[in-house]
Structure 1
Amino acid sequence: MTPTDKDLLLQALGTDEPPLHLDLDAIEARGQARRRTRGLIAVTTAVLGVGAITGGVVLGAGAPNAVESAAPGSPVAPTEREIAYCYQTADIGSTQPNQHVAIGVGGRDGRVDLTGQIMQICSDSWQSNVYDFQPRQAAGTTYRIPRLVACVLTGKAANATEGAVGVFPGNGNTCAALGLPVAQI
């Protein structure tokens, strides 16, 4: 909302009515945050849809893979590099809304390696609170970034792709505590 738009709104409300306490900047900031979140959700949904259509995610039975057979807390390279997850809490079994957010951005050929950028993406997301992982504060607030750790997800992670990186708030012991290997990124 431009300053002119604000002036017109205030002029339309008039001065003969009791004051209407509107924090126009906060309302505008919430709208911008919602648009960003909707945009990220749309991109993620599109990438996941294309991945599912093209058979990008294949779930199979058989011998355990390197991720499943790795000792919890040991370093392992992720096997799924086109999708990664930012987690609100160190909990891989939760199906609560907004517990984790899938991040996937396709290049021209629909493929991109996210593993090198996922720590920065999740850190930026915490700092701007784009996923509402923290209680909302005044517009323009910079949020606290918790210590983050990257683990490789196994089949035990609810609603997530096995072999992808999951970034959790925590420390060096978090991956082992979750029964996950540490991501080599």
Structure 2
Amino acid sequence: MTSEDKDLLVQALGTDEPPLHLDLDAIEARGRARRRRRGHIAIAATVLGVGAIAGAVALGVGAPSALESAAPGSLVAPTEREIAYCYQSADIGSTAPNQHVAIGLGGRDGRADLTAEIMQICSDSWRSNVYDFQPRQPAGTTYRVPQLVACVLTGNAANATEDAVGVFPGNETTCASLGLPVAKL
């Protein structure tokens, strides 16, 4: 506290009050010491926490994600809400052109039924053959839509985002054969 601050305090209290015998410098010093101790405690807690997390990661300890622990073919809710994929065939390893098409979903909130939405988009895409998944027909032709299934993609899917929905021609056994869980509707 500066001398101006102290003068202002005396002025605010007035002269008709009994004299204050406060050692403002000592009070300020105790406050600084207390803040330093709190800072040191916070730093120590952070270092210990980071060390524990790093140790757990190094040992491979920790709860697996829902996707990692899901058996192929089991039902899992997708967590990636920004992007999904329509696949031409049931092949997650192919990097062939037009094997799968990314569909931007714009980060739907938790209330949107993401799986049903992407299933509808992919079904409409097959019906109009917008991605040339089928041989071209004369204009105005409605294309056959195969049975489609929504799976949750893992890190094994080539050029795709993990935990996103991938819609494939097939059924629930298709997801299992690809080593993927079925996406919850």
With the shorter chain as reference, the TM-score category is: 0.5 to 0.7
If the length of structure 2 is used for normalisation, what is the TM-score?
Answer: 0.62
CA contact (8 A) 1:147 1:169 kept: yes
- RMSD in angstroms over aligned alpha carbons? 1.6
- Residue 169 of structure 1 is matched in structure 2 by 169
Q: CA deviation at 1:79?
A: 1.0
- Output the CA distance in 1 between the equivalents of 2:127 and 2:141: 9
Taking the TM superposition and a 5 Å limit, the aligned residue runs for 1:1-185 are 64-106=64-106, 111-112=107-108, 114-185=114-185
- Output the CA distance in 2 between the equivalents of 1:146 and 1:116: 16
- Output the CA distance in 2 between the equivalents of 1:65 and 1:159: 21
Q: CA deviation at 1:115?
A: 3.0
- Output the CA distance in 1 between the equivalents of 2:105 and 2:76: 23
Secondary structure at 2:166 match in 1 = strand
Structure 1 runs not aligned, ≥5 long: 1-60
Residue by residue over 1:148-168, the C-alpha shift from the partner in whole angstroms, topping out at 9 and shown as x without a partner, is: 000000000000000000000
Q: CA deviation at 1:105?
A: 3.5
Identity of aligned residues (%): 81
**Structure of greater Rg:** 2
- Output the CA distance in 2 between the equivalents of 1:105 and 1:87: 16
* Matched residue count: 121
Q: CA deviation at 1:138?
A: 0.3
Q: CA deviation at 1:65?
A: 1.9
Structure 2 runs not aligned, ≥5 long: 1-57
Residue by residue over 1:111-158, the C-alpha shift from the partner in whole angstroms, topping out at 9 and shown as x without a partner, is: 325433001000000000000000001000000000000000000000
